Chain A
Amino acid sequence: MMTRAAIIVCWVMAIALALFLIAPLLVIAAASFSPTPVFDLPLTGASTRWYGKISRLDGFWPSLLLSLQIALFSTAISLVCGTLAAIAIARGKLPGAGIFATALVSPLMMPGLVLGIALLQGFRAIGFTAPWATLLVAHLVITLPYVARTMIAGLARFDFTLIEAARTLGCTYPGGVLRVMVPALAPSFLIAGLFSFLASFDNYPVSIFLADVRTKTLPIRMLQYIEEAPDPTLAALSTLILAGTVILLVVSDRVVGLHRMAGTSD
């Protein structure tokens, strides 16, 4: 009897939490189709005109391009460097590997604001002020921990004998890495890349310290819009970003399976 009651409590909690987490997203999506500049419930109709206004937002395209560039470059660099570092930690008998592993993921535990201020002062101290480059380096600090953490976990389960097996079957060493190690670690690469990209793309607290008038990432630009003109255009933009993320996740699931990405399978 008690266990039954306990299970029901847990069910209710699970459903309530899911609603709590999804509700704001639903509200944003609904607001984006609002026919009036002021969002009111119940909706009196639906309109897509706010979507049309997105592209006419002041400075929207440069900011989107900048955010995509920074997210793509920082993810690509992190994937290469983070994987190599993870190999050293998971495999290379590196002295003090545990310390390096902790150091690599430590930015995850640091508040973004602290990180932002630290980076700003650090860059100023060495006279490194080019906005685009400082943003990229700062975002590497954000994305590297995601890649390092995921790849260390993935490599810990990777049997390096697989490469030897490939070599005895006719592969060169690089060939074995490409034909066996990379595909076997594909789920890890995908999840690392995904989280890295998303972490960079929506980062605000670090970027705000390094942006200048001409170099503003999309999240900074969006906050500026909301201060200037709080109409549903921003809701439309948010909905698009949300849809893009969902598509990314669904495609990833189709490719490798979310259960493998979460690391819960075999």
Chain B
Amino acid sequence: MSESSPHLVVRGVSKRYGPTTVLDHIDLTIRRGELVTLLGPSGCGKTTLLRAIAGLAQPDTGKVELAGRDITNVPPHKRNVGVVFQSYALFPHLTVAGNVAFGLKVRGAAKREIDAAVERALSLVKLGHLGGRRISALSGGQQQRVALARAIAVEPDVLLFDEALSALDRKLREEMQVELRRLLQDVKATAIFVTHDQDEALTMSDRVAVMNKGRIEQLAEPRELYLRPASLFALNFVGLSTRISGTVLAADNGKVDVETKLGRMSALGNFQAGSPVIVAARPEQLRLGEQGEANSAAGRVRSVVFQGSRTLVEVDAGAGESLLAELSGRDGAIPRVHDEIRLSWPVTETFAFPMEAQA
């Protein structure tokens, strides 16, 4: 199978629990070797989608295909998926090696084959020396690695991670993100991560699916997701932004003029005149002072937060609106609280979104 052919295909999958629609006609295609994150708040359906792929939740409608095989009605033990659970779900009565060997033993593999696979999987996660340990004698980070080794050892067609890193402390989590990505690329694994942590999503994935209310709002590469959010929800969920509400005055070929309480602004987007919209820009696009072809607004600095390489400045622009700027400090002085300043940002980096109930 070639690198670009579809490896995992989810087609029109829906799932309801009583009156709640958890998954609403999900379509998702993942290529072989791709690392994809399902990102969203709790209750958005991301874990249910993962469980539907693993066979632990049966979709009401739709199909799931894996490695060219329709697995919609295949029970989990015949799907050849590897799952790393949030709680790790390691077997307490078995040793580290016993846990890693479990899947192969169940499959009835020969002992020599099992031993080799266990050794390979454990050395891959750098736990080669701990095979004889009891699970309870391991740290959280080590348990996480054992869970990964156990899932990898059966050479699954797809690896599924359900909030697998969220139980680790921040520093260890960030190290694991980088290491895990490298490891998965080395073994050419296809993997899906479920997380609510945007940093994890941006670090780990080739593509990110932002989920909300049982639907995929946007499926894009991390960079595109950040620079060109497809919806207000995606904009809010990934990264920070300045958001100003207004009404469309005129629309012209993918560009709109919007009347806001802070004056007239231009933004990218397709709307009819009179539509209520939110115009938004990422904080690093906001600069001190005026610039050409730009929106601008003035106000009084409310807070200044120093974050090392950047400084976040929040400005009270009046009329209940505020601006958020990320200043590097290289192009000029960082303002201080209560300073009156003017900020501007390019029209080409300003987006208009339909006003909707805030998530």
What residues make up the interface of A, taking CB atoms closer than 8 Å to B?
159, 161-162, 164-172, 175, 179-180, 183-184, 186, 265-266
Contact = CB atoms under 8 A, between A and B. Distances in A.
A262 B214 CA distance: 45
Given A161-B89, A183-B93, A172 B83 contact: no
Contact of B91 (A168, A170, A175, A184): A184
B103 A164 contact: no
B110 to A, nearest CB: 15
Given A170-B103, A186-B93, A165 B85 contact: yes
B150 interface: yes
Nearest to A265: B136
B223 to A, nearest CB: 32
Contact of B102 (A169, A184, A265): A169
Contacts of A170: 77, 103, 106-107, 154
A168 B106 CA distance: 11
Given A161-B89, A165-B89, A184-B92, 15 more contacts: A164-B83, A165-B85, A165-B150, A166-B91, A167-B55, A168-B76, A168-B79, A168-B81, A168-B151, A169-B77, A169-B103, A169-B150, A171-B106, A175-B106, A184-B91
Interface in B72-100: 75-77, 79, 81-83, 85, 87, 89-93
Nearest to A182: B93
Contacts of B102: 166, 169, 179
5 contacts: A166-B91, A167-B56, A168-B79, A168-B81, A186-B93
A166 B90 CA distance: 9
Contacts of B76: 164, 167-168
Contacts of B75: 167, 172
Contacts of B79: 168
A116 to B, nearest CB: 40
- Which 9 residue pairs across A and B have the least CB separation, nearest first? A169-B103, A165-B89, A170-B106, A161-B89, A266-B136, A183-B93, A167-B76, A168-B83, A170-B77
A140 B46 CA distance: 46
A159 B89 contact: yes
Interface string B40-83: 00000000000000111000000000000000000111010111
Interface size on B, as a range, is 20 to 34
Nearest to A168: B83
A72 B92 CA distance: 29
A168 B93 CA distance: 18
Contacts of B136: 265-266
A82 to B, nearest CB: 21
B106 A169 contact: yes
Contacts, number: 65
A170 B87 CA distance: 19
Contact of A179 (B54, B81, B106, B107): B106
B97 to A, nearest CB: 15
A29 B136 CA distance: 41
Interface string B139-157: 0000000000011001000
Contacts of A183: 91, 93
A33 to B, nearest CB: 43
Contacts of A179: 102, 106
A180 B77 contact: no
B337 to A, nearest CB: 49
B85 to A, nearest CB: 5
A161 B107 CA distance: 20
B56 A162 contact: no
Contact of B89 (A162, A171, A265): A162
Nearest to B102: A169
Given A179-B106, A184-B93, A169 B154 contact: yes
A235 B57 CA distance: 62
B57 to A, nearest CB: 10
A171 B93 CA distance: 17
Contacts of B77: 167-172, 175
Nearest to B103: A169
A8 B297 CA distance: 77
B50 to A, nearest CB: 11
A159 B87 contact: yes
Contact of A162 (B91, B103, B154): B91
Contacts of A159: 87, 89
Nearest to A157: B92
B81 to A, nearest CB: 6
Contacts of B107: 170
B87 A161 contact: yes
B93 to A, nearest CB: 4
Contacts of A171: 77, 106
Contacts of B150: 165, 169
Contacts of A165: 83, 85, 89-91, 150
Interface string B151-177: 100100000000000000000000000
Q: Which of B102, B150, B154 has the most CB of A within 10 A?
A: B102
Interface in B207-228: none
A240 B263 CA distance: 96
Contacts of B90: 165
A168 B87 contact: no
A13 to B, nearest CB: 33
A164 B56 contact: yes
